[in-house]
Every structure is written in C-alpha cells, then in structure tokens.
Structure 1
Amino acid sequence: MSYPRPALNEALERSDVVHDANTIADAVKEMAAHIADEYRDDVQAPLFITVMNGGMPFAADLAMALGDEGVDVEFEYLHATRYRGETSGGARLAWLHRPQTALRDRRVLLVDDILDEGHTMLAVKRWCEDQGAADVRIAVAAVKLHDRCAEGIEADFVGLEVPDAYVFGYGMDYHEQGRNLRAIYALRN
C-alpha cells in the first residue's frame, strides 16, 4: 500500500514489521485480562486517562477489551509532550491539555503507546499523584528494550516489547505520520 505522504512511504521501505496487527490484538486482549483482575471488583470505575496523541489507538482497543472483561472505565485524556513533532524529546514537558476530572481519591490508569525513556510518563504520573490520585497505574502498548529508562518509572501493564530502534505505527509516529498503521515498524539502521 502506498500513502500520499512521501516521507511515510520512504520510512516504510526502510523498516521491518516488529509486531503485526494480530500479535498486537492478542497482546491487548491478554493485557485487558490482567488489568481486569486489578479493577473488576472496584465500586467506582477507574479513571482511564489516554495520553494523546500516541495513546489513542491502543487506548481505544484496550478500553473495548476491558469492557469485554466486565470492567467499566471513566474516560479522560491528557496531552503532554516533550517531542513536539521531533524524534527526540526536549528537556521541558509541554502540557497541551490536562484532565478536567478531579483525580482526588481516584484510581487512575494512564494509557499510552510506548514507554521509552519514561521522562514524560514520570512527570505525568507525579502530576496525577500531586492531584491526589489514590493509585496511579500505567498501561502501555509497548516498552522499548534498553537501559536508559528514567529512574522511578515503569509500566504496570505491558503489551509488547520493541527493539531499541526508531519505532512507529499503532499510535507511534514517524514525524507525525503513520500513527494509524495497524502494525508496529522499526527503522533499519
């Protein structure tokens, strides 16, 4: 398949599929079962906070899979970034949208596409805790395999592992392109 944006086509030609759509779907289903074990008996629905923009495809799939497991969630979102369309993150976190729902005494599930070095997610988690969240858990579609993760951050629920390479698809972007690809790709060196 060819796309009208030349940069995305070029990236796909220089990439390998790391996880196809079926593998991703199976991982989401399995993750939902584990998350359901944590939240199924809660009287109040957990606050399911999608980290935009990358977390959107995964969050949609995960939310539906949680529904299949008998877990209701209350939707919210945030948009915080260090990347601003670049391939490496800057030092400062930019908040583009903070959740409008009060977090005090709520169980929060942060949902994102990838945990790479974790600086953004660490800042977001700390912000949630500062807002009085009773419990903050992290679910990511993928974790990048390397030893550069920020101290104090890890995902509680992980779908897949990806290599220490530039990855895109399934929410992750290649210069703001390719987020809606069903597979996860890695650029070849």
Structure 2
Amino acid sequence: MSADLEHIRQVMREADCLYNEAEVEAAIAKVGAHISEQLHDKNPVVFCVMNGGLIFAGKLLTHLQFPLEASYLHATRYRNQTSGGELFWKAKPEVSFIDRDVLIVDDILDEGHTLSAIIEFCKHAGARSVYTAVLIDKDHDRKASPDLKANFVGLPCVDRYIFGYGMDYKGYWRNANGIFAVKGM
C-alpha cells in the first residue's frame, strides 16, 4: 500500500463530521422543494458542475418533479489540489442556453470564482436567467464578489477544508456519506 493511500485513509479516520448523512439528505430534500416552488413552470436546463456537483445533482434531481433537461459541464480551479488556481474548462455544455432558464448545481460556494465564471458563461451564451444551487455555502469573507450568493443553499459550513457528498480531498472521499472537515484544516 502506498504512503499516499494511507494518508488518505488517515484523513478520514481523523476527520470531524460536520453533517451526517440524514442531515445532508434532509437538506437536499428541502432545496428540492424550494427549487420546485420557483422553477416548476420554467422548463429549465439543469447543469451539474462536475465532478463535485455529481452526488448533489443526482440526489437533487429526484426531488424535482417537473419537466427539465439535465446536462453537465466541467470547470475547475482545483485539479486535485487543495487550493484553487486558474479556471480550467474540461467540458463545456452542449445544450443551448439561448432564451432558457438555467439552474447550475454545484457542491460548494466557497470563494465563488468558479461559480461566477460559469454564471457569466451562461449569461453570455444567451440564458434568460441563471439560478444556482449549492449543497454547501462556506461562511467567510473571501467571496469573489460580496454580491455572490446562491439562490438555493443546502447547508451553511464553517471555514474549514471539507469533503464528502461530491467534495474531495486530493481527489478522494467524494463518496463519503456525510460532510467532513479535515483535521487541522
């Protein structure tokens, strides 16, 4: 076994559970209800931001009981690191945004650089309106813009390095069934 894999296992053993599975699932259901109230008659395109938004989007979609188109896009600043860099497009959306209402689903609103760039991309591509849903909204004063807020938020979170439910630690633990904070980070 490699030392790196042992480190990854140790991170999970020592992590603090901030939200357990039941708490996260309840938050996803609540977000789904709010989205359904506001977007049920809009025929939105729902874009999952890969890879982080995968689990949240998949679970959220089952709570949206109205017609929608689902797709994905892949933009990242992290590239398996613990701090962000330049925005990197791995896969741009293939569905037209022109005169459509768009819902962007992502794992976390941290500083918001990635989400801001995706919102601007959608607007420039002709979206009628752009909504955002995030599982976690991290509480700090480092947002890309003081005006940047998600339309739909599952849970608030302290300013720590977190993983689980799609969020990763160095590419691992997206599959963790809760929201965990790395010890000391």
TM-score (ref. length: structure 1): 0.92
1:163-182 matches, cutoff 5 A: 163-182=158-177
Amino-acid identity (%): 42
Provide the aligned C-alpha RMSD in A.
Answer: 1.2
Q: Distance in 1 between matches of 2:182 and 2:89?
A: 29
Residues 11 and 183 in structure 2, CA contact (< 8 A), matched pair in contact too: no
Q: Distance in 1 between matches of 2:169 and 2:34?
A: 30
Residues 45 and 102 in structure 2, CA contact (< 8 A), matched pair in contact too: yes
Q: Is 1:7–2:7 an aligned residue pair?
A: yes
Q: Is 1:111–2:105 an aligned residue pair?
A: yes
Residues 63 and 73 in structure 1, CA contact (< 8 A), matched pair in contact too: no
Q: Distance in 2 between matches of 1:9 and 1:29?
A: 30
2:181 corresponds to: 186
Deviation readout 1:72-127 (Å, 9 max, x if unpaired): 2201110001111110001x211010001110100000000000000010001000
Q: Which amino acid aligns with 1:57?
A: I
Q: Distance in 2 between matches of 1:123 and 1:156?
A: 16
2:37 corresponds to: 37
Q: Which amino acid aligns with 1:24?
A: V
Q: Distance in 1 between matches of 2:51 and 2:162?
A: 15
1:46 corresponds to: 44
Q: Distance in 2 between matches of 1:86 and 1:132?
A: 33
Question: Is there any run of 5+ residues in structure 1 with no aligned partner, and where?
Answer: none
Q: Which runs of 4+ in 1 moved over 4 A?
A: none
2:58 to 57, 60, 65: 60
Following TM superposition, by how much is the alpha carbon of 1:162 offset from its aligned partner in structure 2, in angstroms? 1.3
Following TM superposition, by how much is the alpha carbon of 1:9 offset from its aligned partner in structure 2, in angstroms? 1.2
TM-score (ref. length: structure 2): 0.94
Q: Is 1:144–2:142 an aligned residue pair?
A: no
Following TM superposition, by how much is the alpha carbon of 1:14 offset from its aligned partner in structure 2, in angstroms? 2.3
1:128 corresponds to: 122
Residues 19 and 179 in structure 2, CA contact (< 8 A), matched pair in contact too: yes
Question: How many residues end up aligned between the 2 structures?
Answer: 180
Question: Is there any run of 5+ residues in structure 2 with no aligned partner, and where?
Answer: none
Greater Cα shift, 96-105 or 71-80: 71-80
Q: Is 1:20–2:20 an aligned residue pair?
A: yes
Following TM superposition, by how much is the alpha carbon of 1:161 offset from its aligned partner in structure 2, in angstroms? 1.0
Following TM superposition, by how much is the alpha carbon of 1:182 offset from its aligned partner in structure 2, in angstroms? 1.2
Following TM superposition, by how much is the alpha carbon of 1:65 offset from its aligned partner in structure 2, in angstroms? 1.1
Following TM superposition, by how much is the alpha carbon of 1:181 offset from its aligned partner in structure 2, in angstroms? 1.0
